[in-house]
Amino acid sequence: MSAPLSMSALSSRVNIASGVRARAASASNRVARFSKPMIVAKATPAESSNVVVLGGTGGTGSECVVQALKRGAKVTVLARDPSKMTTPPGTGGAAEGTPLSDPNLTVVKGNVSDAADVAKVITKDTTGIVVSLGGKTKDVGATMLTDGTTNVINAMKAAGIDKDARIAIVTSIGAGDSANQAPIVFRILMSTVMRSIFNDKNNQEQLFLGPGGPGRDLEF
């Protein structure tokens, strides 16, 4: 016979359940709001996955690369500077900052803003895509996120994987309908010095959530 739950444990379970219900309700409202058709990509075992990471040399992107490799997936990274493909902090441990290499990792030199470069890494064998783009506007341009993500969407459709592969976009709090969730100081920055990058982030989200967005029929 199991021991009775303490009030603390019971409270924790209630809080967790409430949180799950709240998130489920939020997700349901979001789907209803945008009336997005339900697209379900095929479930692919990690060892059979071919994942493409755009922005794979950045902090978040490189962590995605490492996690996918640890699960046995094949990973392709499109990078402007392949030499920046290094082991990320955290999971990298003592190897942090050293060149990342793995038999299942391919790093291709290219620019996400170039449709031809994107088409080289997204093929009929791609099962999943992570878009983790970033950078200073003065270095990457004011529309890099929107332009690059548009190229990714078009490449998926050209390769015929738009109904089979899942795409994940790394964006930011403050973008889209999370604008009011950002701290007040951050919101001030969003409307001043960070206005350009947030215009780009919002336009990037609209590729999937906006009426007639080219990525609206993908699973994301």
Query: Quick one: pLDDT at residue 40?
Result: 57
Buried b / exposed e along 106-139 (16+ C-beta atoms within 10 A)? ebeebbbbebebbbebbeeebbbbbbbbbeebee
Query: Quick one: pLDDT at residue 31?
Result: 41
**Token couple for 100:** 């990342």
Query: Quick one: pLDDT at residue 5?
Result: 44
Buried b / exposed e along 169-181 (16+ C-beta atoms within 10 A)? bebbebbbeeeee
Query: Quick one: pLDDT at residue 37?
Result: 55
Query: Quick one: pLDDT at residue 56?
Result: 97
**Token couple for 82:** 């392949």
- pTM, to two decimals: 0.77
Q: Under a CB-based contact definition with an 8 Å cutoff, are residues 80 and 158 in contact?
A: no
Distance CA 180, CA 183 (A): 8
**Token couple for 104:** 């299942």
User: Which tens digits make up the pLDDT trace of 38-95?
Assistant: 555 566 777 789 999 999 999 999 999 999 999 999 999 999 999 999 999 988 888 9
Collect the ranges in the chain with pLDDT lower than 70.
1-43
